[in-house]
Amino acid sequence: MKSIKKNSLWIGLLALTAVVTTSCDTYNYTDDLQRLGKRVEILEEMTLKANNELTALSEIMAVIQANGYITSVIENEDGTTTISFNTGKTFTLRSGRIGKDGKDGEEYTMLISVAQDTDGKWYWTSNGEWLLDVYGQKMPAGAVDGQNGLSASENSAIVPQVRINPDTRNWEISTDGGNTWSDTGVCADGKDGKDGLDGEDDIFKQILTSEDGTTLTFILRDGRTFTVRWLK
């Protein structure tokens, strides 16, 4: 009986060793950690880019409402465009780049834009609905008073902020300067774990210069178009 038990124990140990050996051969912890690190970098880049574009769109709306203009346009080697306004603000935007994950990026990226209400003023929207502040009021896009010539930041208009929840991977939005956040229910990962970073996930779909070089037209991803004077 002792011999049988001893043999059974050795057989069990050999089986366990085989399982562990097989698992180590098929699962590379280093590769998985590297993928996780890259994933975090991508999500952080998506968040930074989105907030930069929201600030830029707010500034563009302030310039339009104040009858302002663009002072400089520089096309960079990496495909981005650096734009300066007469308000002193400068932004670098990426436009028109549609990668292999374009469809997934478009379907799984929160769509923030602006729309004009019946009062003639422009307000922020989220996925086609008015974006409301903590008091339930529509949020003005750009300067609160478009006639004073001040930029959005100088005129205390609140620009919505976004972030990606590290646990749920959903986009969250803040309408009070980052004090509180609301889950939008929109996943930042996209289908099959794709992030959409290389897809059509920019707020600005395209930036076009007129043939005579006197205006710059911003085309948003929802199809809205804004044209700003360019005084060189």
Which pLDDT tens digit goes with each residue over 87-112? 899 999 876 443 333 333 343 456 89
pLDDT score of 34:
56
> Residue 39, exposed/middle/buried by CB under 10 A (0-12, 13-18, 19+)?
middle
Biggest CA–CA distance in the chain, Å, is: 97
Q: Is 79 helix (H, G, I), strand (E, B) or coil?
A: coil
Q: Is 219 helix (H, G, I), strand (E, B) or coil?
A: strand
CA dihedral 93, 105, 142, 69 (to 10 degrees): 30
Which pLDDT tens digit goes with each residue over 36-78? 556 677 788 888 988 999 999 999 998 998 889 999 999 899 8
Q: Which two tokens stand for residue 46?
A: 């998506």
In 43-157, DSSP assigns E strands to 70-75, 80-85, 90-94, 112-116, 122-126, 129-130
- Contact (Cβ atoms closer than 8 angstroms) between residue 126 and residue 139: no
User: Using 50, 70 and 90 to split pLDDT, how confident is the model at 30?
Assistant: low
pLDDT score of 66:
86
pLDDT score of 145:
55
Sign of the Cα torsion 144, 145, 146, 150 reads negative
pLDDT score of 60:
93
* pTM given for the model: 0.72
Domain ranges of the chain: 42-229
- Contact (Cβ atoms closer than 8 angstroms) between residue 148 and residue 139: no
